[in-house]
Copies of this chain bind each other. A is one copy, B any other.
């Protein structure tokens, strides 16, 4: 993403991962409040200047490109996240569809299924630069590097 805040983690390390996360039905799942996030009301925003947080996790970066709290979105959210080596999300799920686009790096998707009462062994699937995958509503998943 050019020379912006995401560049260091995204461009150099073989073990890092730069993800764009695109989620439907924004209001239903938003996990994090952003009370200190200044509202930028300009129509066209420079992503390199947008509010970035590691939420206390070293080697992690999150930017809400378009969000309910920060931008009044009602149907869709777009996040940009960078995972440094060893970073992982918790195993979690959302009450909405989620689409991932891997902009740089490689990692692993851990995906369970809600179609079984006891999901059993989840699938572990490699993800890589310029790959995409979707996570169905409520399917438990984790991303790790």
Contact = CB atoms under 8 A, between A and B. Distances in A.
B48 A130 contact: yes
A20 B20 contact: yes
**Number of copies of this chain that the complex holds:** 2
Interface stretch (A30-38, A67-75, A81-89): A67-75
A23 B111 CA distance: 24
Contacts of A109: 43-44
B132 A47 contact: yes
Contacts of A97: 73-76
A132 B45 contact: yes
A1 B131 CA distance: 10
A122 to B, nearest CB: 11
Contact of A96 (B48, B71, B75, B78): B75
A134 B71 contact: yes
A26 B75 CA distance: 10
B65 A99 contact: yes
Nearest to A127: B44
Contact of A44 (B65, B76, B126): B126
A137 to B, nearest CB: 8
Nearest to A6: B130
Nearest to A98: B76
A91 interface: no
Given A43-B111, A73-B134, 7 more contacts: A20-B101, A22-B22, A24-B25, A45-B131, A48-B130, A65-B101, A76-B76
